[in-house]
């Protein structure tokens, strides 16, 4: 399966495979979202040597140094860190930098990657927005931090939404529906974002991509500047790691964003 579409390019070469946003390539940014053929776990599920071998090949392909990658320990939080050097980060799900040569990496299995670029102030953000992060509005919080720390204007921002579990597969029950309806009071059941499933008691489909777009637009991001790859990780689980598809044994796709030196 080739996932190339109007928004992304699916590159396969020398045993390494990844998706890249056309828009971010136009701006000359380092960017990728890796696929099932490689795994980038650092939590002990994979042999560290295998992970490092995959990083080595990926870095060679992207033309970056392994030592330039910052990859925090993620906790489904709304914690966002601004950095200007390669440092070790824990309990962080959003990273911002204006420093060229630092490559921001986060890992994903079904959660939504939100890659942000301010072409005016040359600032980038890599955001891990799973269902918990989306409920905590980590996307718009990152935009607010960019405004505060770097003087970014939301209307200038380019936002790329990577593969994630989409409304076709994100089935939830009342516990998650209640959290979403509390956080997004304007999104009632049977809106476009939260739909009750026909004939299934207490089951709902949530469109977290749509919610992320709506809350980013509320923060001032232009709809025309949001580039959504439109890919569901469960639908494309023959190519991408997916937690819903693979459960506990699921591998991780890594999304990297960087400003070239
Ligand atoms: Zn799907």
Split at pLDDT 50, 70, 90, the class of 14 is confident
CA dihedral defined by 91, 243, 10, 256, rounded to 10 degrees?
10
In the chain, where the domains are located: 8-170+207-258
**80 forms bridges with which residues in the sheet?**
94
* pTM metric for this prediction: 0.96
Measure 214 CA to ligand 1 centroid, in angstroms: 20
Measure 167 CA to ligand 1 centroid, in angstroms: 7
- The CATH-assigned architecture of domain 8-170+207-258 is 4-Layer Sandwich (3.60)
Split at pLDDT 50, 70, 90, the class of 190 is confident
Measure 236 CA to ligand 1 centroid, in angstroms: 7
- Dump the DSSP string for 141-206: HHHHHHHHHH---GGG-EEEE--B--TTT-EE-HHHHHHHHHH-TT--TTSSSEEEPTT-TT-EEE
Q: 34-45 pLDDT, tens per residue?
A: 999 998 876 677
Could you tell me which residues come within 8 angstroms of residue 255 by beta carbon, excluding any fewer than 6 positions away? 31, 32, 33, 34, 105, 106, 107, 108, 113, 115, 126, 162
Q: 156-185 pLDDT, tens per residue?
A: 999 999 999 999 999 999 999 999 999 998
User: In whole numbers, what is the pLDDT of the chain averaged over residues?
Assistant: 95
- Residues 218-247: what's their mean pLDDT? 97
């Amino acid at each position: 399966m080739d996932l190339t579409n109007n928004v992304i390019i699916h590159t396969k070469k020398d045993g390494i495979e990844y998706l890249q946003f056309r828009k971010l390539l136009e701006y000359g940014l380092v960017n990728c979202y890796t696929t099932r053929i490689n795994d980038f776990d650092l939590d002990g599920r994979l042999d560290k040597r295998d992970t490092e071998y995959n990083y080595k090949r990926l870095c060679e392909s992207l033309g970056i140094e392994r030592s330039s990658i910052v990859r925090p320990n993620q906790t489904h939080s709304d914690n966002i860190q601004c950095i200007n050097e390669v440092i070790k980060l824990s309990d962080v799900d959003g990273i911002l930098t204006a420093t060229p040569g630092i490559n921001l990496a986060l890992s994903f299995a079904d959660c939504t990657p939100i890659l942000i670029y301010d072409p005016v102030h040359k600032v980038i953000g890599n955001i891990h927005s799973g269902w918990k992060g989306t409920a905590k509005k980590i996307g718009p919080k990152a935009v607010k931090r960019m405004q505060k720390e770097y003087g970014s204007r939301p209307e200038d921002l380019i936002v790329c939404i990577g593969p994630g579990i989409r409304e076709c597969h994100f089935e939830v029950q009342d516990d998650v529906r209640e959290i979403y309806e509390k956080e997004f009071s304007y999104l009632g059941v049977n809106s476009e974002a939260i739909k009750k499933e026909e004939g299934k008691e207490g089951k709902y489909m949530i469109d977290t991509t749509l919610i992320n777009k709506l809350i980013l637009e509320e923060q001032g991001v232009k709809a025309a500047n949001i580039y959504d790859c439109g890919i569901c990780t469960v639908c494309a689980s023959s190519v991408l790691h997916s937690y819903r598809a693979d459960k506990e044994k699921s591998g991780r796709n890594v999304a990297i964003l960087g400003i070239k030196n």
